[in-house]
A and B are shown apart, each in its own frame.
Chain A
Amino acid sequence: MGPTLILEVTDHRGRVRFRGRLNPLGASIGRGYGNDVILDDPYLDPVHLRIAPGPDGELAWRDAGSANGTWDPRHQRRLTGGAVVPGLELKVGRSVIRFVAPDQAVAPALRDPAGGHGAAVLLDARRAGAALAAAMAIAGAAAYFTSTEPTSAAELAKPGLATLLLAGLWATGWAFTNRIVAQRFRFLAHWAWTALVATAFLVIGLGFEWLGFLWPGLEIQALEGMAWALLGTWLLVGHFQLITEWPAQRRWVVAGAVTVTLTVVIGVLGRDNGNRESLLDPTGSLKPLASRFVPTTSMDGFFTETAELKRTLDEEADPAGEAEPE
């Protein structure tokens, strides 16, 4: 005789309604109050099935002549009885009875953001304060280096304060949501994270300006779009962690799907409808870097590439050429 099995019953939505040790001497299952396992499922008989030890001492089950029968839920076959073994599943009415070995492996615990890891690093007030100060300083520096007028300290503080204010509003919303979902109110951590993420967007933009300056041929807008999409996906994953109990893989899959959908929608909406005059204006930035550090191309090299422009334009202008297979 093997170890005592666990009997588990799930309802029509897959939620566990009953879980308990299976009596080694047997049990009856049904809607009636005289059963060992009473199930509130209107499609069950008062006594639907019985489990009892056979002559060899092994447990076996038998349908007690139920009106709707007992089914194999995987193959939709009607069953009358058999051995009770770990992994056996029986469909009765709208419920499923499952027999599980006690050493059955279970998924690892979900990481709770309150546990001091991940997003919780900013629960510490000093760290959160430092993050907010850094966000404000970086916004101020960005404002200073892009202004070409004489500027006062108050002017420079404005973008930082605006960032903190908007981040604060956003954080308030999420802090309350989190309180409803997880009974935790952590405004400061939310605020610091929001400000840091806003700063990350700013820094990513600056980084790509430099990339675009050093390597003008790069499809910089596409790369920048990808960076933003990645950051956006990561943010969604974090928020799903706050409001759902999904495992990590599911959070990433859903967040990825949302990002891809949004990217496609934005791509379609933002499609340049023939306004190609705007192409004339370069999008990159110039940077104060000594010429010897700038990767360059020779005059000949540059004008060799322009021949490619002519080919593209000639194909566009000459529909006959366009129709030819490449």
Chain B
Amino acid sequence: MRRRRVGSLAAGLLLATAAAAAAQGTGQDDVSAAVFRRFAELTAKIQVVEGGSGAKASLGSAFLVSAEGYLLTNYHVVAEAVDDERYRIEWLDPTGRSAPARILAVDVVRDLAVVATDRPATRHFALGRPTVAKGTRLYSLGHPEDLGLSIVEGVFNGQLEHTLYPKIHYTGPLNSGMSGGPALTAQGTVVGVNVATAGNSLSFLVPIEAALPLLDQARTADSAGLPDFNAEIGRQILANQDTYLATLFQGNDSSIVIGPFRLPTQPAPFFRCWADADRNPDALYESVDHQCSTDDYIFLSGSQSSGIVSMSHRVLSSRGLSPLRFYSLYSTNFRGAAAAFDLESSSDVTGYQCRDGNVRRGPMVIRTRFCLRRYTNYDGLYDADLKAAVLGARDAGVVTRLTLSGVSFENAERLARKYLEQIQWARP
């Protein structure tokens, strides 16, 4: 399941209603009111405006983090305006006054961005490395559904355990539009930045420590000149994936035996796996599905993401189908093999290029199709899709698929190869 980012205009009404009901149940009105009074003026609304029509393309929240008047927000709030002259960024202070803002620094991996207001701030939040106990009450500020600055109470529930990037599990009803707003303690210590929700008050914050280096980068950019953001984003993604992809499919991963095959599963703790089997007693075959996918991804744009690794296996076993008939079934499954995660189509990628082969690996022959497409706006990033089917058994087969989004060609090829090496006969 993909988490919803809370910065987009396209928010579900259902979620908004449920969140409102949850908010009514909480108490401590006096503390909330005090936090709101003290810190409301340090927050801002950010909107990305389409230059031609003046229509809002996205909106989110932000907060002042430096005396220069820098605002911290989420990358996904301002992503539309990165390297695209058709969009401009506006910020609105709590009184509703609007002024242009410009992006100084972005961290796509952590989903953070610093924008300059070009108006010095008399007061701002001080950023640090807070230590907070699980259960501590936090207050989130932001503009849910563009309904005006709001305060939301929630509870700090520690860092997420199985995740690609550090994230705080926050139990509080975040909504679309609150992205980029601060989550702070009653004393005013910022703990994290509102970033995503999975609904039902299950929400996520970016730990505030991640913003410290970004603030330094912003100061440098402000004085020395802005970087080429698309190139910078490409660099960040490539640097990041070298660390998290390096450990996958190295031969010491967990494996699972389904039918006559030994197959890779759960390559890292940040993968989530699930399974399903179809064993209809009247059918002439049975099929077992096993899928794993990263639970997290890097937002690049509305239609592009990076960092998704997903794999799916379907093991088919014959129960009385002759080999020709079984292989007809096998072919159909190979042609239409579902991915655990479907890569979206987008105008910012090339079409796919594919290569087919019957690949021999020891005693095993694997029909393989390897497809690749390239991101047109970020250099060196590709989506890869590997489909494979083990040949040679007359009554059993496995169709397996590996999908990688936003990886370097070298990583795509290395992982595809390692993945194929993990597919083995269970009985030697």
Contacts and interface: CB of A to CB of B under 8 A. Distances in A.
A144 to B, nearest CB: 7
Given A148-B321, A306-B370, A313 B356 contact: no
Interface residues of B, number: 59
A295 B324 CA distance: 19
B212 interface: no
A85 B413 CA distance: 82
Given A148-B329, A296-B365, A302-B355, A313 B373 contact: yes
A305 interface: yes
B359 A296 contact: yes
A302 B413 CA distance: 10
Interface stretch (A8-16, A24-32, A185-193, A280-288): A280-288
Nearest to A218: B356
Contacts of B252: none
A295 B391 CA distance: 12
Given A148-B325, A286-B389, A310-B409, A217 B357 contact: yes
Interface of B: 282-285, 321-332, 334-336, 345, 350-361, 363-365, 367-376, 382, 385, 387, 389, 391-392, 394, 397, 409, 413, 416-417, 420-421
Given A148-B285, A216-B356, A288-B324, A310 B334 contact: no
A146 interface: yes
B230 to A, nearest CB: 13
Contacts of A214: 358
A216 to B, nearest CB: 4
B316 to A, nearest CB: 10
Contacts of A312: 353
Contact of B334 (A146, A282, A308): A282
Interface of A: 144-150, 213-214, 216-217, 274, 276-277, 279-291, 294-299, 301-303, 305-310, 312-314, 316-317
B353 A280 contact: no
B374 A286 contact: no
A302 B417 CA distance: 10
A277 B352 contact: yes
Given A217-B356, A313-B353, A299 B392 contact: no
A314 B357 contact: no
Contacts of A289: 391
Nearest to A277: B345
B360 A297 contact: yes
Contact of B371 (A279, A287, A303): A279
B323 A308 contact: no
16 contacts: A148-B285, A216-B358, A276-B351, A282-B356, A284-B335, A284-B356, A285-B327, A286-B331, A288-B324, A288-B327, A290-B392, A291-B364, A296-B359, A303-B416, A306-B370, A313-B382
Nearest to A220: B356
A309 B355 contact: yes
Nearest to A279: B352
Contact of A146 (B323, B325, B369, B421): B325
B361 A299 contact: yes
Contacts of B355: 217, 302, 305-306, 308-309
Contacts of B284: 148-150
A306 B351 contact: no
A31 B151 CA distance: 113
B350 A316 contact: yes
A65 B345 CA distance: 85
B417 A303 contact: yes
Tell which of B322, B357, B420, B421 has the most Cβ of chain A within 10 Å.
B357
B354 A144 contact: no
Contact of B367 (A149, A276, A286, A309): A286
Tell which of A214, A285, A286, A308 has the most Cβ of chain B within 10 Å.
A286
Nearest to A312: B353
B319 to A, nearest CB: 11
Tell which of A285, A289, A295, A313 has the most Cβ of chain B within 10 Å.
A313
B352 A286 contact: no
Given A299-B420, A310-B372, A285 B354 contact: no
A303 B385 CA distance: 14
Contacts of A291: 360, 363-365, 391-392
A203 B21 CA distance: 66
Contacts of B370: 302, 306, 309
Given A297-B360, A305-B355, A313 B369 contact: no
A8 B326 CA distance: 72
B427 to A, nearest CB: 16
Nearest to A278: B352
Tell which of B323, B328, B363, B376 has the most Cβ of chain A within 10 Å.
B328
Nearest to B349: A317
A296 B326 contact: no
A145 B323 CA distance: 9
Contacts of A284: 331, 335, 356, 367
A288 B321 CA distance: 12
B324 A297 contact: no
- A-B CB proximity, top 10 nearest: A276-B351, A288-B323, A216-B356, A291-B392, A296-B360, A313-B374, A285-B331, A291-B365, A148-B329, A279-B352
Nearest to B320: A150
B387 A296 contact: no
Given A216-B358, A306-B413, 13 more contacts: A146-B325, A147-B325, A148-B325, A282-B335, A287-B327, A290-B392, A291-B365, A294-B365, A297-B360, A301-B357, A310-B409, A313-B353, A313-B372
